Amino acid sequence: MEYIKQAQINEPNIINNVEQTVKDIIATVRSEGDAGVKNYEKKFSHSDRDVRVSEDEIERSIKALSSDVKELIDRVVERISTFSKAQLECILPLEKEFGPGIQMGHRIVPIEKVGAYVPGGRFPLLSSGPMVVAPAKVAGAKKIVACSPANYEGGIHPAVLYGLVRSGATDIFAIGGAQAIAAMAYGTESVPEVDIIGGPGNRFVAEAKRQVFGKVGIDLIAGPSEVLVFADESAEPKNCAADLLAQAEHDPHARAIFVTTSRTKAYQTMEEIDRLLDVFSPNSPAHESWANLGEVILAETLQEGIDICNEYAIEHLHLHLKNSRDLMDRLYNYGSLFIDSDSSVVFSDKVSGTNHTLPTNKAARYTGGLWVGSYIKVITHQQITGEGVHLLASHATKQSEIEGLEGHQLSAAIRLSSIKS
């Protein structure tokens, strides 16, 4: 393995500062409620509006949208919902006898109150709201509280609002950042307390989700976007470059990584990236992202390339390879896989139907992305009768005696004595 271009990652002070800042925000919102939220909104978003988005505001915003934009968002919601429904159908309840008198199973139960964070950022990401909210609606959540920054003319972008409404959000708030996560986790006078929080965000949002985990559930820690393009000699450098920059433009801290078995393709792709960046806006985050965090790695063999992909455990893994599908079983650490060069990550970002809230920072080693299953609980039950009582009580009595647990032994032994009497 050879690094032709290597990232410069050295941010311990930034990480420590983010952690302390978020800790202070959460403490303030817990103690001051709405007042604390509003103070942070003034400080970070320069917003002094009412945090709740009223029905009148929603109606006015939606009226401002063209029918073409509404139709586009409706299509996004429909595709995400359809894929979520198909996933939910795969999760089945269980009821089975495991020996005479031992009946056990599980139920599929939706989480009741969901918090959805929808980033505002530099661009109004029209699919982010449906990606977080629609699966919760499909799962059967009764209350879906959505928060998004008030960074468009003093409110939430009308297209983002429309997507939230169409996806099933029941309460919408113009709040961003760590204060939004804290408000949903602990509740305020205006913001309902939720059971789980889902959705992507910047490093402050990700850190806030980490800190409130335990008080509420979270989907996963989803930080700035990541992409790894894995290519061989058959790849088209211009396509590879475009796919890398598409994710790099999300954030200055986004990571775009190119792994290839071809030295020629490595240098050609770097040349294409430089050429394309010349026509990008000077303000595009892609410049900083590629300069500081972009990587180009030359793998000696296809297997070494596969090993690199699994080690990076990247958010988006895009294969520009001959016979890409044949490699699926050898790739297992990724948030979402994009097979063949035409399967652009952008399709998933926008409209294909799979979710774009995915694990970053190597979290793909142990979890997948946000999906309808993130909003359900698989809860078990059992009913023990007849022969099952004798079998299990005998075992539990002996085991509890060995463990020295008197209460456990008593509870099991009582069942044995009941059988004898």
Three-state SS for the chain is: CEEEECCCCCCHHHHHHHHHHHHHHHHHHHHHCHHHHHHHHHHHHCCCCCCECCHHHHHHHHHCCCHHHHHHHHHHHHHHHHHHHHHHHCCCCEEEECCCCEEEEEEEEECCEEEEECCCCCCCCCCHHHHHHHHHHHHCCCEEEEECCCCECCECCHHHHHHHHHHCCCEEECCCHHHHHHHHHHCCCCCCCCCEEECCCCHHHHHHHHHHECCEEECCCCCCCEEEEEECCCCCHHHHHHHHHHHHCCCCCCEEEEEECCHHHHHHHHHHHHHHHCCCCCCCHHHHHHHHHCEEEECCCHHHHHHHHHHHCEEEEEEECCCHHHHHHHCCCEEEEEECCCCCHHHHHHCCCCCCCCCCCCHHHCCCCCCHHHHEEEEEEEEECCHHHHHHHHHHHHHHHHHCCHHHHHHHHHHHHHHHC
13 pLDDT above the threshold of 60: no
pLDDT for position 419? 67
- The pLDDT of 107-123, averaged and rounded, is 90
In-domain check, residue 99: no
Q: How do residues 330-364 score in pLDDT, each as one tens digit?
A: 999 999 999 999 999 999 999 999 999 999 999 99
Crossing angle of the two packed helices 12-32 and 177-186, in degrees rounded to 10: 40
pLDDT of residue 272: 98
Question: Is residue 207 included in any domain, yes or no?
Answer: yes
| pLDDT score at 224 | 86
**Catalytic, out of 315, 318, 320, 356:** 315
Query: What pLDDT does residue 381 have?
Result: 98
Total domains present in the chain: 3
Tell me, yes or no, whether 359 lies in a domain: yes
Query: What is the rounded average pLDDT of the residues 176-202?
Result: 96
Which of 187, 218, 249 terminates a domain? The answer is: 218
Task: Examine the residue annotation and report whether 316 is marked as an active-site residue of this protein.
Answer: yes
Domain around 264: 224-369
In a domain, 322, yes or no: yes
Same domain, 192 and 230: no
Question: Do 131 and 275 belong to one domain?
Answer: no
Band of pLDDT at residue 15, cut at 50, 70 and 90: low
Average pLDDT over residues 39-55: 94
- For residues 194-218, give the mean pLDDT: 95
Among 193, 218, 243, which residue terminates a domain? 218
**8 A C-beta contact, residue 175 and residue 147:** yes
- Percentage of the chain lying above the pLDDT 90 cut: 90
Instruction: State the average pLDDT over residues 21-49.
Output: 96
pLDDT score, position 14: 55
**Pair 206, 230 in one domain:** no
Give the tens place of pLDDT for each residue, 241-264: 999 999 999 989 999 999 999 999
Q: Are residues 180 and 253 in the same domain?
A: no
Please report which confidence band the pLDDT of residue 125 belongs to, taking 50, 70 and 90 as the band edges.
confident
pLDDT at 420: 65
CATH number at residue 307: 3.40.50.1980
* Whether residue 165 is found in the same domain as residue 292: no
Chain-wide mean pLDDT for the chain?
A: 95
In this structure, are 303 and 198 located in the same domain? no
State the pLDDT at residue 121: 65
Q: Are 263 and 313 members of one domain?
A: yes
Mean pLDDT of 17-38: 96
Tens digits of residue pLDDT in 278-296: 999 999 999 999 999 999 9
pLDDT for residue 10? 63
Pair (335, 396) in one structural domain: no
Catalytic residue (one of 157, 253, 316, 318) = 316
Q: Are residues 284 and 305 in the same domain?
A: yes
Of 161, 188, 218, the residue that ends a domain is 218
Q: Kindly state whether residue 263 falls inside one of the protein's structural domains.
A: yes
The mean per-residue pLDDT over the stretch 376-404 comes to: 97
| Inside any domain, residue 81 | yes
The answer to whether residue 262 sits within a structural domain is: yes
Asked if 182 and 43 sit in the same domain, the reply is yes
Percentage of the chain surpassing pLDDT 70? Answer: 97
Q: Is residue 3 part of a domain?
A: no
Q: Are residues 330 and 394 in the same domain?
A: no
Query: Are 209 and 72 members of one domain?
Result: yes
The yes-or-no verdict on residue 126 having pLDDT over 90 is no
How confident is the model over 306-333, as pLDDT tens digits? 999 999 999 999 999 999 999 999 999 9
Q: What is the distance between the alpha carbons of residues 156 and 58, in angstroms, rounded to a whole number? A: 9
